[in-house]
Amino acid sequence: MSAGAVAAVDLGATSGRVIVGRIGRDTLEMEQVARFANDPVPAGDGLHWDVLSLYAAALAGLRTAVRAHPDLASIGIDSWAVDYGLMRGGRLLGNPFHYRDERTARGVDAVHARMPHAELFERNGLQFLPFNTLYQLAAEDPAVRGLADRMLLIPDLLGSWLTGQTRAEQTNASTTGLLRVLDARWDDELVAALGIPRALLPDLIAPGEALGALRPEVAAALGARADLGVTAVGSHDTASAVVAVPMQPDAAAYISCGTWGLVGVEVEHLVLTPDALHANFTNEGGVDRRVRLLRNVMGLWVLTETVRGWERAGERIDLPTLLEAAAAVPAASVPVVDIDDPRFLPPGDMPARIDAWCAERDLRAPQSRAEYARTIIESLAAAFADTVRTAARLGGVDVRTIHIVGGGALNALLCQRVADRSGMPVLAGPVEATALGNILVQGRAAGFVSGSLEALRDLVARTQEVRRFTPAA
């Protein structure tokens, strides 16, 4: 079984990349061939993603990948969840809305007037998040929704432009709230109850299945072989990231930490208990029909938006220097805020929101940039540690190790404080877990590797570096 090459299009909430992965029995290597910004666009009707620019940048990156690696076996696409494009006759009706757009609030009211969250949880197994796809669809302009004949989540949308095929990949579809959690099929009864046209929802496709060959004009534009195609991967970026967590499932929790912190355990059976509902946990689809029992925690978004605000005000911020200064601030001297408070969800002045949260509780607010950064890190670490403990209890998993993957694995202060607050060792890395998971699923589909998720994770453990953080005595 020889090694081969695949291309991963990995779209994050702040940037996208095209990465060529070389994979074989003892090989797992990555080469980033393109990186591009993903900046939301405020328009007259709300906050949008510039999906056409993302697609153009992905095509440019794929062109570079094909030129350097004409033997590419396939292409896989992953991105953030829940957001979508509405189509008619294969044409996009408008740039997709951003999940942080304020319109989602009215969608929540409209959906819960027909079906409360507790009943929804029994059907879709999802935690309440005000931007889940079913709420966004309920908030759509009825005239626009009435024109549409198809809804495609972001990776599915790009896949359709590449291949001409319209399918919905299962792990990402599981985040919409419209999938029956018990059998991973579209919930036609729920869809009808919410007044959503059933024709909007495309047929489902599982990770590892072939979506289709590139359209001839796309292959020509990329300089690619006529038979180069797209393979479905865990197109929800967290689903791909969890594939690449080098963990033993009966003894570990994972934190996929970037803009969001996805904190949970992998289980083989759904957890739909009243306790899970009360804890606001979610049962999302994983690769190979595993269940990702997790909760969304606000993540590094709060720190990123804080730094962005200072920079907009004319300050020049070096993040490593800021984190070094934050590490020198005693943890006991700063407040720990509820990082999941809804006030921290939309863009805006995060320090002012931290001040308001503290004032409401008669707490001393941070007084310097270093103290604000330390407050955010301490608050994230506390939320992560608490959520790990809850996930372990709900899932019946004897967690003894926490794996942090994604950009948060580079934040040594955060990793150490998660270890300290949880009392468990933290293994940080791989940073590029999402792209690696994308590559692993493609590599297995192409026959470059074989075996279960555990076999794929063993390859990650043997080829990728991790850093260990031990709880302070």
| Residues 302/276, Cβ–Cβ less than 8 Å | no
Total number of residues shown for the chain? 473
Cis peptide before 155 (omega within 30 of 0): no
CB count within 10 Å of CB 319 equals 13
| Residues 38/84, Cβ–Cβ less than 8 Å | no
Contacting residues for 273 by C-beta, under 8 A, at least 6 apart: 394
Could you tell me which residues are beta bridge partners of residue 229?
A: 213
Kindly list the catalytic residues: 237
Please give the structure tokens belonging to residue 255. Answer: 């934190």
Which of 393, 118, 109, 116 minimizes the C-alpha distance to 278? 118
The two most distant CA atoms of the chain are separated, in Å, by: 66
Q: Give the ranges where 46-195 is alpha helix by DSSP (H).
A: 51-68, 104-114, 117-124, 133-139, 142-147, 154-163, 170-173, 188-193
Helix (H) or strand (E) holding 360: helix 350-360
